[in-house]
Structure 1
Amino acid sequence: MSESSRDTAQGAGWGPAEPGVYRQLMPDHVEKLSWLNPRILWAARNGVLASWFGDPTGRTRSRWVARRVAAGTAADKVVRRDVPERFSFMVIGDTGEGDASQYAVVPGFLKAGADTEFAVIASDVIYPVGATDDYGTKFFRPYQDYPAPIYAIPGNHDWYEDLGAFMRVFCGEATSALDAESRPRPLSRAWWRTLLWHRPRPADEELLAAARELRGAPGQQALQPGPYWALDAGPVRIIGIDTGLLGTIDAEQGAWLREASRGPKPKILVTGSPLYVDGEHHPCAIEGGGTVDEIVRDPDHHYVAAIGGDIHNYQRYPVDVDGRTVQYVVAGGGGAFMHATHTIPVVSVGGVTERDFRCYPLRGDSLAFYSRLYGHRLRLRRFFTLTEAEATAVVAERLGTEPGRAPGPDARVTRRTRLVATLLGAGGRPDRTSRVRLPVRKIYTRLFSPGSATYSPPFFKCFLRLDVSPEAVRLRCLAATGNRAQELDPPVEDEVVIPLG
């Protein structure tokens, strides 16, 4: 087994290394995604409109589901797969940027997933707006050599064109558009939303047909009953829920989730929005009352894990729920730009402490990565850039804990390293050397990190492999850095065995 980031800096991807072969898999021309582009910002406006004028996704989702049932899909929305008693499957989240950060994951994913029964994409299959024409280079091409079926749950970006492309690719819909609804009352909130709403663009049918051929083998085919579903495989039931544009679920889906969660079979939830993330609890509201996490915590439902996408890194929170442990996992590091982990404060949530919490990349690696980004963008490399050892040491000091990897005997924490850590929002106790915080979390990553000069190895991407037996599920987080060593033997960054008893 290769070294991980918890072992050495080289295991994290730092230092001289042989580049991976992922660039050979990419198209000749890749359009880098930039959220500074007004055209992209305007196309992706539906999330903002939904928060201002009301979220229509529950009603739209209900119409899509009704259409699938009318077409003959099972009303219970359960897929039943005949698998061996012991089998494995993959989970990968927030994949579809279509650039180097996505393709860098592919070689290791194919190697680790070669003998698995299926894969699940958890959130944001396609950026920026889930368009049909983007599926060729952002789904079919990168995973053309994965031999098994791929199921998916949509993220908010897949909803920016009313989920039409997702429904065509994963659910067998013939069209990307629903029939128009009745016009709302003039000048009402719904009227303004309808007036400004981004609608699906016409699809290039020849382009889509050619893309489908890339995953045209019989063993690669899967048809799911809708944007939310349950999958019975061996001793477990995997339940995927669609949290739409704003991270909630509608009453109809909530009622289905309660019904699908009944029974003694152990269950794993896959959701577009994680329930524990960045040291906070987000239980996910259900329209009409209740939360998704209340369903997960109910002992009669026998959930053992809840895996969410949306945030582009890996986190794990082993939460004690009335004497049993439920593993809450963030797994959104499958291809989009990296969300920082060094901004996560000392963890104390749901009974989980810093001792139990796991993340990838390590906070020190995250801080070193972002120090390079800011050094490049602000043309202040000598001031901002921290070595991985310096970043590891200063993060450990701020958190007051042992670092995930020893920083090395020559790592010194100086006034400059403390100031840079403070400016970049490193977690822990605030540093009084500065009250200024540069935007690092979603604002910075949305605006600047895509296409920056440091968007080259190490990428700090990841994916999950879950090995299922009648007794337990072994969950492993495997890394993809873009370096050849990690492609040939993806390092294990975290591992936990989840009993099914």
Structure 2
Amino acid sequence: MAESSRDTVEGAGWGTAERGTYRQLMPPKVQKLSWLDPRTLWAARNGVLASWFGDPTGRTRGRWVAQREAAGAPADKVIRRDDPDRFSFMVLGDTGEGDEPQYAVVPGFLETARGTAFSVIASDVIYPVGSTDDYGTKFFRPYRDYRAPIYAVPGNHDWYEGLGGFMRVFCGDAPPLPPEPAPRPLSRAWWRALLWHRPRPADGQRLRAAEELRAAPAQQAVQPGPYWAIDAGPVRIIGIDTGLLGTLDAEQGAWLREVARGPRPKVLVTGSPLYVDGEHHPCAIEDGGTVDDVVRDPAHRFVAAIGGDIHNYQRYPVDVDGRTIQYVVSGGGGAFMHATHTIPRVSVANVTERDFRCYPLRGDSLAFYSRLYGRRLRLPRFFALTEAEATAVVAERLGVPPVRTQGPPPRITRRIRLVASLLGAGRRPDRAARLRLPVRKIYTRVFSPGSATYSPPFFKSFLRLDVTPEAVRLRCFAATGNRAQEADPPVEDEVTIPLG
């Protein structure tokens, strides 16, 4: 078995390892996405407008669903497959930036996905705004050699152009929605409509050419809408659409409660994770209650809830009335990396540091960001921490043993502690807290995507789930961008979930 980041520095992808072959898969010219570009920020304004003037996602989603039902999609939105009782499927989250980090995932993904029945993309298939014309280089090209269907649930970025591209690709060539009546002048809806980013005209010929890259009969999949359920072998996989603001409309909430019934074990796939960064985000439903209320109901028999949106891997085994539900974040499929070193010492829903898992490890995350800030601020000698230094200072600030011990422990100096504090490691309050540099919210919304690195290690990840009548084996595999991890992707986390 390949060494993982928990074993060695080399297993994490650090050092002078041979770069992988992923560049051979990329188009000759790649337009790197920059969120520092005002044009990109302006195009992605709909999330902010929805929070100011009201979120129209539920109404628009209802129109899409009605259109699909009129075209013959099943009213219960259940895809019934003929998979055997023993089968496997893959999960990728937040894939579609179309640059080196996304393509670096592909070789290891294809190696690990051998023999799987299908894959699911959890959130943000296409960045920055879900444009139809971006599907060629950000979906069809990278996964053209995956010889099985790919299903998806949209993320907030897929909604920035009204979900038109997503519906066209995943839901049977769905035509655009007709325009809605104009809202009352000077109302909140009127202001929202005035400022709203609308889909750009798509190049139909360009999309048809891209679709030829995944045109084999075995690769085809047609979803009944942006949310769906799949009956596969002994389990039901339920995918929900959390829209622009991470919530469910009343219609989808009623559907979720209905398809969650029955004794069949269930796995939820959602665009917004329910546990993330040491916090509980139960996901509100418009007419009351939450998604997690549905997941926790023992009559519904959910065994796992997997969410994208946050670009790393996390797992929280939560005890719910004597049974364990695995709450997973799986957003490392290709977009820039969200820091894990800022996750505080975990204590949520009786899950502690002893039970919690994440990738990248917090020490590797701190080392990654310290070097990134060193380059950005042109102060590498001050900011850059070695992997051993970052691992040691994170362990000190969290009050836990180091996850990876390799060689004698380094001496933790005042400079190391100051850099760790400035970059928010462990979020422990100290005198440097008021000077803390943006790493989480502000940084990841503005600076982090613009500071994405285009050389390994990338710290990307994906999941493989092996299903039997007795259990689901869930494994998180790493993709660093190095040749060694391409040929033999290391397992960063593994858990067996009983179905009995």
Aligned to 1:2: 2
Counterpart of 1:481, as a letter, is T
Instruction: Name the counterpart of 1:67.
Output: 67
Q: Which residue of 2 aligns with 1:38?
A: 38
**Structure 1, 123-132 or 196-205: larger mean CA deviation:** 196-205
Distance verdict in 2 for CA 1:236–1:453, change over 3 Å: closer
Compute the displacement of 1:442 (Å): 3.3
Aligned to 1:421: 420
What's the counterpart of residue 249 of structure 1? 248
Given the two structures, how large is their TM-score scaled by the length of structure 2? 0.99
Give CA deviations for 1:78-134 in whole Å, capped at 9, x if unaligned.
Answer: 001111221100000000000001000000000000210000000000000000000
Q: Are 1:279 and 2:278 counterparts? A: yes
SS in 2 for 1:317: strand
Equivalent residue, structure 2, for 1:131:
131
- 1:274-297, CA deviations, whole angstroms, 9 ceiling, x for partnerless residues? 000000000000001000000000
Which region of structure 1 is more displaced relative to structure 2, 195-204 or 290-299?
195-204
Q: Which residue of 1 aligns with 2:315?
A: 316
Aligned residues of 1:463 and 1:477 also touching (Cα < 8 A):
yes
**Secondary structure of residue in 2 paired with 1:11:** coil
**Cα 1:468–1:5 shift into 2, 3 Å:** same
Aligned 1:454-465 pairs, distance under 5 A: 454-465=453-464
Name the CA shift for 1:453/1:38 in 2 (closer, same or farther; >3 Å). closer
Q: Distance in 2 between matches of 1:115 and 1:290?
A: 39
Moved more, 135-144 or 194-203: 194-203
SS in 2 for 1:68: helix
Following TM superposition, by how much is the alpha carbon of 1:450 offset from its aligned partner in structure 2, in angstroms? 3.4
* Equivalent position SS for 2:10: helix
Question: SS at 1:10's partner residue?
Answer: coil
Partner of 1:388: 387
Gaps of 5+ in 2: none
Q: How does 1:64-463 map to 2 (within 5 A)?
A: 64-175=64-175, 177-406=176-405, 408-433=407-432, 435-450=434-449, 452=451, 454-463=453-462
Separation in structure 2 between the aligned mates of residue 301 and residue 451 of structure 1, nearest angstrom: 42
The Cα of 1:451 is off from its aligned counterpart by 5.3
- Work out whether residues 77 and 229 of structure 2, in 8 Å CA contact, stay in contact via their aligned partners in 1: yes
Counterpart amino acid of residue 165 in structure 2: A
In structure 2, C-alpha distance between the alignment counterparts of 1:383 and 1:434, rounded to whole Å:
18
Which amino acid in structure 2 is aligned with residue 145 of structure 1? Answer: D
Q: Count the aligned residue pairs.
A: 500
Q: Per-residue CA shift, 1:163-212, capped at 9, x if unaligned?
A: 0010000001342x211111111101000001111111111011000000
Q: Which residue of 2 aligns with 1:54?
A: 54
User: Secondary structure of 1:108's partner?
Assistant: helix
Q: Is the 8 A contact 1:153 1:242 kept in 2?
A: yes
What is the CA–CA distance in structure 1 between the aligned matches of 2:341 and 2:234, rounded to whole Å?
37
For 1:296 and 1:408, the matched residues in 2 are separated by 44
Distance change >3 Å, CA 401–CA 219, structure 1 → 2: same
Contact in 1 for aligned 2:234/2:469 (Cα 8 Å): yes
Scaled by the length of structure 1, the TM-score of the pair is: 0.99
Work out the CA distance in 2 between the residues paired with 1:218 and 1:407: 49
Give the aligned CA root-mean-square deviation in angstroms.
1.0
Q: Runs ≥4 in structure 1, deviation > 6 angstroms? A: none
Supply the distance in 1 between the matched residues of 2:138 and 2:428 (Cα, whole angstroms): 40
- Specify the alignment match of 2:26 in structure 1: 26
Q: Post-superposition shift, 1:428?
A: 4.9
Partner amino acid, structure 1, of 2:82: D
- Tell me the CA shift for residue 448 of structure 1: 2.9
- 1:493 corresponds in structure 2 to 492
User: Given residue 40 of structure 1, which amino acid in structure 2 is its aligned partner?
Assistant: T
- 3-state SS in 1 of match to 2:189: helix
Task: Provide the secondary structure at the position in 2 that maps to 1:449.
Answer: helix
Q: Secondary structure at the match of 2:239?
A: strand
Q: Distance in 1 between matches of 2:275 and 2:451?
A: 29
Tell me what 2:478 maps to: 479
Query: Which AA in structure 1 matches 2:14?
Result: W
SS in 2 for 1:463: strand
Q: Is the 8 A contact 1:476 1:495 kept in 2?
A: yes
2-structure distance, mates of 1:452, 1:161: 25
